[in-house]
Amino acid sequence: MKKRRLKIWPVIILVVFVMLLFCLKDIYDNLKSKKQTEVKIVDTIEKYDYTLREQESSYYISLFKKLKKELSNEKINEENYANLISQMFLADFFNLDNKINKNDIGGVEFVYKDYQSEFIKKAKDTIYNYVENNIYGNRKQELPVVKEVKINNVSKKQYQSEKISDEKAYYIDLTIDYQKNLGYQKNVKLILVHLNDKLEIVKME
C-alpha cells in the first residue's frame, strides 16, 4: 500500500507542476496583452479634455490640429468648433480599422457626458460587435477607413428633451467618404448642445 502511494506522488507533483506552468502562462499573456493595448496620448487640449491618441489616422490628426488652433483663439468661431468636432466624431467612430477590439469605441469624448455609457453599450451591440480582436496586430478582417467627412448643412435651433434644453443647438448634416465602400453608413445627422464652454453630441441619426 505504501509503495502504491509512493508511485502516485510523482504523478501528483507532475500535474501540479503542469498546472502551475499554465497559470504562469496566463499571467504572462495577460500582462503582455495589457502592455500591447496601452494607448499612448500624443497631444491634448486640456481646457476641453480632448486627447489625440497615437493610433489615430492622418485625417483625424489634421482635424485635431485645426480644432486645437481654433480653441486657442481669443474669440472662438463656435460654428467652426461645432463642425470640427462633428467631423472628428465621425472620423473616429466609423474608422474601425485602427480599433483594437469591440471595446475600443471611437468618438466617446465628444458625446454628451450623461449619455456616454448608453452610447458605448449601443456601439458594442451594433457596429462594434463585429470588430475582431487585434491585440497582437494580426487581424485579417477588412474594416472601414474614413477618408473624409464633409459638412452638408448646419443650422441652429431649439433642442428639448427630458434632460436637456438648448435654445441654440447645432443641427449638422454630414457625409462620410471611405477609402473603400464596405457598406457602412455614409449620411449622418448630428445634434450638438452647449454644456458650459463645450459643445457635445446628444443625438446621431
Query: Domain for residue 27, yes or no?
Result: no
Domain that holds residue 152: 41-130+144-204
Q: What is the pTM of this model?
A: 0.81
The cell for 37 is 493595448
Q: Is there a contact between 33 and 137 (Cβ–Cβ < 8 Å)?
A: no
Residue pLDDT, tens place only, 164-187: 999 999 999 999 999 999 999 999
Say what the pLDDT of residue 10 is.
63
The number of folded domains in the chain is 1
Q: Is there a contact between 146 and 94 (Cβ–Cβ < 8 Å)?
A: yes
Is the torsion defined by CA of 126, 130, 135, 139 positive or negative? negative
Query: Domain for residue 6, yes or no?
Result: no
For the cut 70, the answer to whether the pLDDT of residue 199 exceeds it is: yes
Query: Domain for residue 56, yes or no?
Result: yes
Query: Domain for residue 36, yes or no?
Result: no
